[in-house]
Amino acid sequence: MLRPVSSLCLSPSVKLKLVRAGFQFTTDLLHLRPGQLSAEAGVSQQEALQVLQAASADAAGGGVTALELLQKEAELKSIVTFSSQLDEALGGGVPVGKTTEICGAPGAGKTQLCLQLAVDVQVPRCFGGVEGHVIYVDTEGSFLLQRVVDMAAAAVRHCSLLAEDEEQRVAMETFTVETILSNIFLVRCRDYVELLAELHLLADFLSARPKVRLLVVDSVAFPFRRLLDELSQRTRLLNGVAQHLITMATSQHIAVVITNQMTTRLRGGQSQLVPALGESWGHAPTIRLLLHWEGPRRLATIFKSPSHMDTTVQYQITADGFRDTEQPELPQSKRRQT
């Protein structure tokens, strides 16, 4: 079958010039030299070269079998959350190479979990960690350094208690609060334009720092919920952001964690609390985690995932960070204002 020129990844103006000059299908281009094409279609030499490269490219080689994919998946570790119940439900923690969304009402602990993950991703390999760096994109201004210091100190304490052999003791020398803080790169975005710009520039940042294993966007809802006058544009931009994040997660092997706010949906006279940004955004993240309250208990529910069951676990937020509840029958969690 002939492939139309308009399906190539080229700028619309170049494609228009090609079609006007009678080049409808890629087969018409293959026997041409860049010079000829540039003269006939009225495009620049460089554009002509791009056109010819795009037309002759063959993409079928990029596929892998599911078996190879399985092996690759096995190599990627997950980031522990320091709550063993949640780790178990997620099959080892927040998966690297996938996008995970954390939704929840204000004060449910979304930011706490993000800060906890920013510390946890740096746990040395010999302790079963990922030993990676973090990019933390803060759009709400909720990144509290003092809280990170608390959590980092708790994580260091926890690991130093676990250290048994020589290798782990050596690793502990570099696993300190200072190194944890120096490996967190904070980006503050005030509106959606800054957020989009940052996401586009991240590729360069990532290639300069190959150790980055976690990207946190806290939150994606805040800058976009203000852009209300043009809803179709919001949907388009959000879908673009989603594909961008998924590409980054898969190609660079990083865990992408995004937080989302909640909104009220009215259906049949009843109100219901659902994640914000609409139905179409809901398809974007691979895993969706909902943090909510039930009486005094804090609960985390996996409500979308291709490889996990819908599960609900209980957790608490202590001075040390995101933890299991010690006595499930006697919930201790106190509501903590973030």
Partner 1 sequence: MVVLREGMCPGLDEGLLRDLRAADVKTVEDLVSSDIEELAQKCSVSYKGLLAIRRVLLAQHTAFPVSGADLYEELLSSTAILSTGNPSLDKLLDSGLYTGEITELSGGPGSGKSQVCFGVAVHISYRLKQSVVYIDTTGGLAAGRLLQMLQAETSNTEEQMAALQRIHTFRLFDVYSLLDCLYSLRSGGLQQASVGGGSVKAVIVDSVSAVISPLLGGIQNEGMSLMIQVAGVLKTMAKDFNVAALVRVTQSLMCSALNARGISSVNPNPSQDTSSSYCFET
Pick 15 or 323: Cβ nearer partner 1 = 15
DSSP for residue 306: S
Shortest spacing between CB 235 and partner 1, in angstroms: 6
Pick 26 or 112: Cβ nearer partner 1 = 26
Q: How far apart are CA 336 and CA 338, in angstroms?
A: 6
Question: What sign does the dihedral 167-146-315-109 (CA atoms) show?
Answer: negative
Using CB under 8 A as the binding rule, whether residue 7 contacts partner 1 is answered as yes
Coil/strand/helix, residue 122: coil
Task: Determine the angle formed by the axes of helices 12-20 and 34-41, rounding to 10 degrees.
Answer: 80
Residues in the chain: 338
Q: How far apart are CA 123 and CA 134, in angstroms?
A: 12
Q: Side chain identity at 309, as an amino acid letter? A: M
Using CB under 8 A as the binding rule, whether residue 332 contacts partner 1 is answered as no
Pick 19 or 163: Cβ nearer partner 1 = 19
Pick 264 or 327: Cβ nearer partner 1 = 264
Read off φ and ψ for residue 9, nearest 5 degrees.
Answer: -85, 80
User: Which of 86, 117, 249, 276 forms a contact with partner 1 (CB under 8 A)?
Assistant: 249
**Contact residues for 286 (Cβ-Cβ < 8 A; gap 6+):** 95, 98, 99, 100, 246, 305, 306
Q: How far apart are CA 237 and CA 241, in angstroms?
A: 6
Which of 311, 239, 229 is closest to 278 using CA atoms?
239
Pick 206 or 249: Cβ nearer partner 1 = 249
Shortest spacing between CB 183 and partner 1, in angstroms: 25
Using CB under 8 A as the binding rule, whether residue 208 contacts partner 1 is answered as no
Site for partner 1, residues 57 to 96, rule: CB under 8 A:
57-60, 62-67, 69-70, 72-73, 91
Site for partner 1, residues 268 to 297, rule: CB under 8 A:
279-280, 282-284, 286, 288
Site for partner 1, residues 302 to 321, rule: CB under 8 A:
303-307, 309-310
Task: Tell me the number of residues near partner 1 by CB under 8 A.
Answer: 61
Contact call for residues 223 and 192 (beta carbons, < 8 A): yes
Shortest spacing between CB 335 and partner 1, in angstroms: 28
User: Which of 146, 232, 327, 337 forms a contact with partner 1 (CB under 8 A)?
Assistant: 232
Footprint of partner 1 on this chain (CB under 8 A)?
Answer: 1, 3-4, 6-9, 12, 19, 21-25, 27-28, 31, 57-60, 62-67, 69-70, 72-73, 91, 97-99, 232-233, 235-236, 239-240, 242-243, 246-247, 249-250, 279-280, 282-284, 286, 288, 303-307, 309-310
